[in-house]
Amino acid sequence: MFAIGFMVGYGVTNKIFVKEGRSTADLSSLLTHIMIGTIAGARLGHILFYTPEVLINDPLQIFRLWEGGLASHGGTIGVLLAVWFYKRKHPDQSYIWLADTLSIGVAFTAGCIRIGNFFNSEILGRPSDLPWAIIFAETKDNIPRHPSMLYESLSYLTLAVVLYQLYRKKRGIPSGQLVGLMLTWIFTSRILIEFTKENQVPFENSMALNMGQLLSIPFVIIGVLLISQHFQRWFPMLNLAQKQKDAV
C-alpha cells in the first residue's frame, strides 16, 4: 500500500510539473527524498514517541523495519525535512509550492497506508456494537471493534479528491492553502478518530489525550496558520524562490 501510494503520488506530481512547465527530470530526485524521509521519519518517530527505551536497551532495533513500528507524525516530519533538503538543490522551486504540489499525493498515500493497517489488523479500534463493527481474527477475542483504520482511510482519500479539485481550480487560491488544508484535515481527523482506537502503548492509558492526539495538535496549528497566510508573513523565506521567479 506504501508502493501504490507512492506510484499514484508520483503520477499526480508529474502531471502538475508538466502543467506548470517544470522539468520532470527533477522528479526522480524528489521521489527519492520523499521515500527516504517518509520511512526514516516514520521509524524514528515510532521509536522516539512510543518506545524511547529502545534507544538504550536495543538501539539496533531501529533498523529492523520488518518487525513493524512506523509513526505517521514522524513520517510527516520526515517528508517536510526531505522537501527542505530537495529544495536546497532546486532553488527555483519554492518550499511552499512544493508542499502544495505534494499534498495531493501525500493525502492519497496516507489513505493507502491505513488500508494496509486494516489488512494487517493493526491500530485496532475500541469495542463497538455498531452494525459495521468488525471482528479481527488476529485478536482472538471475538469482540466487534471500530474499523478505525478505514475511518482514517476514507477521510484521507476524500481529502485527496478535494485537494485535486481545488488544484484544478486553484486560480485565486493563495500559495500554501493546499498544504495548509491537508495538515488541518488529516490531523484534525486523527485527533477525532483516535477516540475510537485502542491505545498503542500502556503509558497512554493514564493520559486524557493519547500520544497520537497530542502530536497532532502542532500540525493542526501549522495548517490553520498556512490557510490564514500568517505563516508566510512570519517566515517569508519559505516563499522567496517563488517570489524571485514571479519577479523575473
Q: Which residues of 121-139 are buried (b: 16+ CB within 10 A; e: fewer)?
A: eebbbeebeeeeebebeee
Higher pLDDT, 194 or 65: 194
Q: Is the predicted pLDDT of residue 247 greater than 50, yes or no? A: no
Strand, coil or helix: 57: helix
Classify residue 123: in a domain, yes or no: yes
Please check whether residue 161 lies inside any domain of the structure: yes
Domain total for the chain?
A: 1
Asked if residue 51 belongs to a domain, the reply is yes
CA dist 4 and 108 (Å) reads: 9
Q: Which domain holds residue 112?
A: 2-243
pLDDT top residue among 110 and 71? 110
Residue 219 in grid coordinates: 500540525
Record the pTM. 0.84
Q: Do the beta carbons of residue 141 and residue 124 sit within 8 Å?
A: no
The answer to whether 210 and 191 are in contact (CB under 8 A) is no
- Is residue 248 situated within a structural domain? no
Q: What is the pLDDT of residue 22?
A: 84
Residue 126 has pLDDT above 70, yes or no: yes
Contacts of 90 (CB under 8 A, 6+ apart): 26
